[in-house]
Structure 1
Amino acid sequence: MSERRIALVTGANKGIGYEIAAGLGALGWRVGVGARDEQRRAAAVAKLRADGVDAFDVPLDVTDDASVTAAARLLAEAGGLDVLVNNAGVTGGMPQQPGDVDVATVRTAVEVNVIGVVRVTEAMLPLLRRSAAPRIVNMSSGVGSLTRQSASAGEHQTGPLSVAYAPSKSMLNAVTIQYARALGDTNILINAACPGFTATDLNAFRGVRTPQQGAAIAIRLATLPDDGPTGGFFEDAGVVPW
Structure 2
Amino acid sequence: MAPQSKIAVVTGANKGIGLAIVRNLALDYPKSPLNRGPLTIYLTARSQERGAEAIKSLNADNALKQAGVLQEGRTTITFATLDISQTKSIQSFRDFLKSEHPDGIDILINNAAVALQGFDSNVVKDTLETNYYGTLEAMQDLLPLVRDGGRVVNVCSMAGSLSKYSAELKEAFHDAVGEDVPAVTALMEKFKRDVGDGKEKERGWPSAAYAVSKAGEIAMTKVMAREEEGRGRGVLINACCPGYVNTDMTKGKGTKTPDEGAKTPVMLALQDIGGKTGLMWQTEKEVQW
Q: Which of the five TM-score ranges fits, normalised by the shorter chain?
A: 0.7 to 0.9
Could you tell me the TM-score, scaled by structure 2's length?
Answer: 0.73
The more displaced of 161-170 and 199-208 is: 161-170
Shift of 1:61: 0.5
CA separation in 2, counterparts of 1:112 and 1:132? Answer: 28
| 1:46-76 C-alpha deviation (Å, 9 max, x unpaired) | 3324442510111100011111111112222
1:134 partnered with 2:150: yes
> Which range moves more in the overlay, 46-55 or 6-15?
46-55
Inter-partner Cα distance in structure 2 for 1:179 and 1:225: 20
2:139 is matched with which residue? Answer: 121
Matched residues in 1 for 2:240 and 2:277: separation? 12
Structure 2, gaps ≥5 residues long: 31-38, 65-69, 166-205
Residue ranges of structure 1 left out of the alignment (5+ in a row): 96-100, 151-160
Q: Of 130, 133, 153, which residue of structure 2 is paired with 1:112?
A: 130
Q: Given the superposition, is the C-alpha separation of residues 212 and 237 from structure 1 closer, same or farther in structure 2, using an over 3 Å criterion?
A: same
Match of 1:87 in 2: 111
* 2:253 aligned partner: 206
Aligned-residue CA RMSD (Å): 1.9
User: How far does residue 237 in structure 1 lie from its aligned partner after superposition?
Assistant: 5.2
Specify the alignment match of 1:38 in structure 2.
Answer: 48
Shift of residue 145 of structure 1? 0.8
Alignment of 1:174-193 (within 5 A): 174-185=219-230, 186=232, 187-193=234-240
For the residue of structure 1 that corresponds to 2:275, the secondary structure is coil
- Alignment CA distance shift 1:163-1:226 (3 Å): closer
Say whether the 8 Å CA contact 2:84–2:130 is kept in structure 1.
yes
Change (3 A) 1:48 1:73: farther
Give TM-score scaled by structure 1 length. Answer: 0.86
The offset of 1:94, in angstroms, is 2.0
Larger Rg: 2
How many residues end up aligned between the 2 structures? 223
Report the AA paired with residue 136 of structure 1. V
